Amino acid sequence: MSSPLSQTSKLRARFSKNTVKPDWLASPKVFRTEVLAGLVVALALIPEAISFSIIAGVDPAVGLFASFTMAVVISVVGGRKAMISAATGAMALVIAPLNHEYGLGYLIAAVILGGLIQIVLGALGVAKLMRFVPRSVMVGFVNALAILIFMAQVPEMRDVPWAVYPLTIGGLALMVFFPKITKAVPAPLVSIVILTVITIAAGIAVPTVGDKGDLPSSLPVPGMPDVPFTLDTLTTIAPYAFAFALVGLMESLMTAKLVDDITDTHSNKTRESVGQGVANVITGFFGGMGGCAMIGQTMINVKTSGARTRLSTFLSGVFLLLLVVVFGLVVSDIPMAALVAVMLLVAFATFDWHSVQPKTLKRMPVGETTVMAVTVAAVVATHNLAIGVVLGCLVAMVVFAKRVAHLAEVSGVVDPDGTQVVYAVTGELFFASSNDLVYQFDYKDDPDDVVIDLTDAHIWDASSVAALDAIETKYAQRGKKVTIVGLNKPSAEMHDKLAGQLTVSH
């Protein structure tokens, strides 16, 4: 019998083995990286959240509180580590008309309903549709994102004091060369601090974060949206809520896939879909304007700062709240040039330059390049990543269907005695490829015994069965018999189930 001491040791060993230590506690270096990354992202979130509040027509506090609650909640319930969710321009554009026409209460109600729709869609497995997004659409998405990030900075460099330009260039230079000295502190944070100190110490008059709008001085308080709980209210907010849910999920899932590729890790897209919904519901009850994955800030967190855990996402929200509520006076003095420099570097690093190199374009099929170009053009024209992705996928489907429409081949061999002809069908039979199938048989001159061999073919849909029915009908009208052989099991099951049932008899 083992002693009580040895049993205690075994239990302790078993407990320590089964206890999972948070990945941000793996080492002091990882912890420091996550904390500093969260701080950099928080600084970059503030002017963005204020700008998106203006787009939506609400007080800056509505956007700032939304960024806080979204980041904190998604860090716990989301499926993609280190991804930043906050108030975004796309979501602001979707719900801005509702706020302008009906007021803030209806906007908040739409955010909550949109979050509930996202939860339902996530539970139904909408994330699985991501597997149908082609690589060319993903490349177009990334390139369009980089262009949008760059375009968003252009107004900050137009009609501004001359000092903005050297400050921006200086910020870029700091972020490029500082990592060669040390990577212990994120270069964007160093750049923001140094440029802020320079502008304050030298008394340089340039646009600052404070010029974007007043920062809140109190904490968000939970409450119900100020709307009548009637069917009329539901019908009013439902279209906006549904659009809000779809756009948010599209951008979040595409961003999660992008982060997967950058970090060489897999994320739970279903959990991310549901998590986005939970975060938006909570954000709505705290009076926020809702949001989704924020691609630019995610790139700062993952690509520029090297964050990889949930801690950076959580702290970006916590630091954001502390900065605007407690250190609002200091944050207000940060020059916009410092944050513009950060976003310009992010735009440059995000763009897939390899995809537009002449040798790459020369090797790439024209259809693939077209899909990428359509995705980029649609996103840049509409400033909506979701629209670009949908259009890109539609074009990719057309290109694919056109490419495989002629994959089915038919070759016929007549027996020496002339009593039978065997047609060998090769390829994939579906609605595109089976359209021409009917016209590849010699109904008039073939012998009375016709065999169609589908050993090297596969039936995918009802259109193919209908095409085979039409072939049999055309031969039957001439008193000729058709025998179909070689069907694999799935094809045979579909053919047996649908053959003769797809046309109306008179």
Give 102-142 pLDDT, tens digit per residue.
Answer: 999 999 999 999 999 999 999 999 888 877 788 898 889 88
- Report residue 388: phi and psi, to 5°: -60, -40
Outline where 222-356 has alpha helix (H).
Answer: 231-263, 269-285, 295-299, 310-325, 328-332, 336-350
Q: Where residue 179 falls among pLDDT bands split at 50, 70, 90?
A: confident
Position 9 scores a pLDDT of 59
CA distance 437 to 443: 13
Position 10 scores a pLDDT of 58
Give 336-392 pLDDT, tens digit per residue.
Answer: 999 889 888 888 888 889 889 998 889 888 899 999 999 999 988 987 777 888 899
Instruction: Report percent pLDDT > 70 for the chain.
Output: 94
Position 52 scores a pLDDT of 84
Helix (H, G, I), strand (E, B) or coil at 176: helix
Position 5 scores a pLDDT of 53
CA distance 99 to 290: 13
Q: 324 with 86: CB under 8 angstroms?
A: no
* Residue 184: count of CB within 10 angstroms of its CB: 10
* Residue 363: count of CB within 10 angstroms of its CB: 9
* CA distances, 420 to each of 112, 448, 484 (Å): 69, 7, 13
For the record, the structure tokens of 505 come out as 């008899």
Average pLDDT, the chain: 88
* Beta-ladder partners of 410: 425
**Residues in the chain, overall count:** 506
Q: 298 with 261: CB under 8 angstroms?
A: no
End-to-end CA distance of the chain: 88
For the record, the structure tokens of 248 come out as 């948010």
Q: Which residues contact 451 (CB under 8 A, 6 or more apart)?
A: 420, 421, 422, 423, 482, 483, 484, 485
CA distance 174 to 177: 5
For the record, the structure tokens of 218 come out as 């109190």
Q: Where residue 19 falls among pLDDT bands split at 50, 70, 90?
A: low
Give 247-302 pLDDT, tens digit per residue.
Answer: 899 889 989 998 999 999 999 999 999 999 999 999 999 999 999 998 889 999 99
